[in-house]
Chains A and B, each alone.
Chain A
Amino acid sequence: MKYTLFDKVWNDHVVTQQNDGSSLLHIDRIFLHERTGSAALASLEASGRKIKNPLHVFCTMDHIVDTFPGRTDQTTMPGGTEFIKVTRDLSLKENITLFDLGDVRQGISHVVSTEQGIALPGCTMICPDSHTCTLGGIGALATGVGSSECEHALVTETLKFTKPKQMRVIFTGEKQSSVTAKDMILHLIALHSAAGGSGYAVEFAGPMVESLDVEARLTLCNMAVEFSAFTGIIAPDTKVFEYLKGRPYAPVDELWEQAMEYWSTLATDQGAHFDREIIIDCADIAPTVTWGTSPQHAISIDGQVPALISGDSDSRRSMEQALNYMGLESGQSIEGLPIQAAFIGSCTNSRLSDLRIAADILKGRKVSANVRAICVPGSTQVKLAAEKEGLDRIFLDAGFEWRESGCSMCFYAGGEGFLSGERVITSTNRNFEGRQGPKCRSHLASPATVAASALNGTITDVRKLEHST
């Protein structure tokens, strides 16, 4: 019998099979944050139940906390302080590990999970956050759940899932150096729609995936949920092992050797069955940016906003609404569109490698006077590492704000947001209506494209910027 990577991890976690074809899976790690984890903890508290294994449960403050320097429990978001306090009190009471404000381990849950060695290859992990699929980048079987499911996992260390179908997306060909994992995943979603992965667990494979460094693999898997996949996963290799070795919660000594041995068996067997396979030639991918209000509304930087689908359909109506919301017309070029803000951050693109790429472009240059530019490192560790390299100076000298770590303006929660009608080029994952502020217009792109656009004050093809220097 030939097995996929996903099969292998799945099979090793099946506690029982149920009559209806679903399986009860053991959950190895649970990560909470103050936005939805607080609801799970509060509900648990009200029920009088206990966490089955607090050693395997971690919590961070990322969604609600402000990212201004000198921040406290007070938030610009209305009611935010309650979420922070409930999370802190119940984390203490339940004896789980909390990366609180002021803790050097604090950061965005999906950044911290790998940084601390909490997420591991061949492990199952859940968080009440849809971007938990990020952790597939190191070979974990990780998926986002609601607060009720999270509570279930806290109490029982298990969750019931119906095994999804399996898809393999193979990235082949030669990739331009300016094309990043963000461009690759936006390209895939544009080709196969935001529902293209619905019902599937997606393995990303092929030479161009193998060539990505670990942080870029996390970016690729991060947006599996924007493809509506159950999760994304990539076979762990020596790059992953080197990345994890010595991390605070990673196994050590003999256990590390045993883990490596196990992890080395996880790659998909030759000839294993996939229900669907998609091959993407990376030579076809240019720096990619979204024009609309779904991640599937993505085009090459040198492309035009597409024509409306003919006929009367849900898809056409959604396109019309998107064009109207974004203040754009079919046939219009995306390149050169004036922007008022630029944002680098989020669980998609806020790791050290992302900041290095952006800093490389910003070095010795100035952000356009018309643009408000903000950089929010994905974790306190990332921030400190960046500062050690002097990246903070490059961002600040260019005219970027340099923030404390958190989810920040990836979404608007009533506190900080971009303004009505403002066009924002952003390294985040969702361009939904109002996502970054009421009536704000978000264009998703890679950190490189965000940095280049911030300089010009217009959506910019980073390849042309490189030529101009």
Chain B
Amino acid sequence: MEQLLILLIFLPLVGAVVTAFLGNAAKHVALGSAILSLGLTLITVCNFTPDASTQFAVNYPWIQDLGINFHAGIDGISMITILLTNVLVPIIILSAYQHDYKKPNAFFALILFMQFGLLLVFTALDAFLFYIGWEAALIPIYFICAIWGGKDRIRVNMKFFVYTIAGSLFMLMGIIYLYLQNPAHNFEIQAFYNLNLDAVQQGWIFWAFFIAFAIKMPIFPFHTWQPDTYTEAPTPGTMLLSGIMLKMGIYGVIRWLLPIAPVGVQEWGHLAIILSIIGVVYASIIAFTQKDAKRLVAYSSIAHVGLIAAGIFALNTQGMQGAMVQMLSHGINVVGLFFVLDIIASRMKTNKIADLGGIAKKAPQLAIAFLIIVLGTVALPGTNGFIGEFLLLIGIYQYQVWAGVFAGLSIIFGAVYMFRMYQNIMLGKTNDLTIGFTDIKGSEKVVLYVICAMIIALGVYPKPILHLSEASVQQLIEQVSQKLTSVN
């Protein structure tokens, strides 16, 4: 069983190397590799016992002189994020099938390489390995966005790159500090958990990690890179960024920040929640005023992530479990939204809401799929968005009533701007531009059907997902509260 994890992590890397040397067959090989990864993930899920333990763990010495090991494993929390990654990557690759990207081999190789980095992040039990994965996921997405992006891509992506790497370098500083505090001089996560840091030290550690994660998610006021980057990126890049990469930040908070610096979280977590909720309200309001649909979805993504972040910092089981489900749901929904917008943009050459209208008449299948995705995004009961946001709101409400109230606004706001967008794009009269719209076909159908099926399936029966992470989440909360009581 040990080899399963190794296979799972390194398969995308092998796929990336093979893809890089191929010509036009690149996309098929890339898709094959991604589907193989998905298959492996399903095998892993089937063999996974949903208790709090770390399973499939591997631990090999890597750079021994520096106390660095290749130590990775899967628990309930990692399982969800791995599932998210390996379900979305084949969908994202398939969604790129209709486009003719220049140098397809490099394009698909970079996607697979990013998948490798993401899997490292989500399985690492060694802080150094975590950092390597963190950066290994960033470099390919930079190139994807900067080579195949829109007009202003160079400037926008430089900002994105420097922003995120600034955060991660401070995190590296925090990791080095923890390493030096650790008497065993290694990067083992368990050793970091057991460190006896005082309140001041934990405060600094909190900030070193928090800034890195806050930039990645992004939480207000660290979000300024995000709308431009999403808009300028090629659609698969946007999907990778919003669907999977921002979950790195959330996962980082759960896996590293909360258990290592609980006192720091207790001291500053309140501020983090306030910032998250400001982000929710602020992004929702800005989303109202957007003329470009892609930008609107980008801002809605900030709002959703703000809610997830607030739920995590509330430090209770409901909030945390809600975050788990919502990570998965948001990934699926946002990928669906960006895909629909990409279909529209590739036919109409625009994403301006005002220029569109009446597409539903021309493309009924697209209209239904789009509607289901929008319903999932606005968290209608019976769709995947509902259960996650519901749990998150309970969690935040338990933490603080007013926080819950303001966070709840996001659902109302979200419904308004999402439906308005849907109405203006799909309904109404067809105009000169949209008159020639053709309905979805081929790989587009496959992608949208799969996404819609997942939205409904998760909405109707979310229990397996909740069950996967429950034990790990409970143990984490207990661990944190124990550490807090022992300090106080």
Instruction: Tell me if chain B binds chain A.
Output: no
**Chain A contacts to B: CB under 8 angstroms:** none
